[in-house]
A = this chain, B = another copy of it.
Amino acid sequence: MHPPIEFWFEFGSNYSYLSLMRIEQAASRAGVPLRWKPFLLGPILRALGHQDSPFNEQKEKGDYVWRDMARRAAKYGLPFQRPSVFPRRAVLPMRVALLGADQPWMGEFCRRIMLQNWVHDCDIDHDGVVLAALDGLVIDPAAIVAQAGAEHTKALLRAQTEQARARGIFGAPSLIVDGELFWGDDRLDDALDYAQAGRP
């Protein structure tokens, strides 16, 4: 039995998009249990001294990242359109993802939200978009959205973000297998290999 892979992600993170669209199938193919770990990247980056996304703070790196995203998406066969707003606030869908982390609808919900941001350029921090993403996946989307706004859920997402920081996470996506941290979409395969083999 392989150890699980923890997938720490944020809907506003572009490289999280590339991993999120692939990870459920990739983990299943590898026979590695998947643990969804939504967290807020903003507070982590601010604690590290960033005022904005590092891709906005450094023009050279930013220019590169959007070119890299287009190439990588093409390589994976994923659609991609640079959004008009970056980074996009995603607190509401992140809270829903926290509620759904152990539910069978989690993967499909997350992929729908990601496509809204990274292909359809929609404001994903919006009731209507989140309700649409839940449509057909749960019996009562409105009840889930209401639960997402409860103080208890807000506190849980803050706590999970704090846990990310305590685990040494400094960016997204991050993957943790058996306490071993892997950072970035380009380490997804390494993390799955590690889970399969129990070694780097």
Residues of A participating in the B interface, judged by any CB pair closer than 8 Å: 48-49, 58, 60-61, 63-64, 67-68, 70-71, 74-75, 168-171, 180-184, 186-187, 190, 200
Contacts and interface: CB of A to CB of B under 8 A. Distances in A.
Given A60-B170, A64-B183, A68-B182, 20 more contacts: A48-B58, A48-B60, A49-B58, A58-B170, A60-B168, A61-B170, A61-B171, A64-B168, A64-B170, A64-B181, A67-B180, A67-B181, A68-B183, A68-B187, A70-B200, A71-B190, A71-B200, A74-B200, A75-B190, A75-B200
A59 to B, nearest CB: 9
Contacts of A67: 180-181
How many copies make up the complex?
Answer: 2
Contacts of A70: 200
Contacts of A49: 58
Contacts of A180: 67
11 contacts: A48-B58, A48-B60, A58-B170, A60-B168, A64-B168, A68-B183, A68-B187, A70-B200, A74-B200, A75-B190, A186-B186
A190 B76 CA distance: 12
A182 B68 CA distance: 8
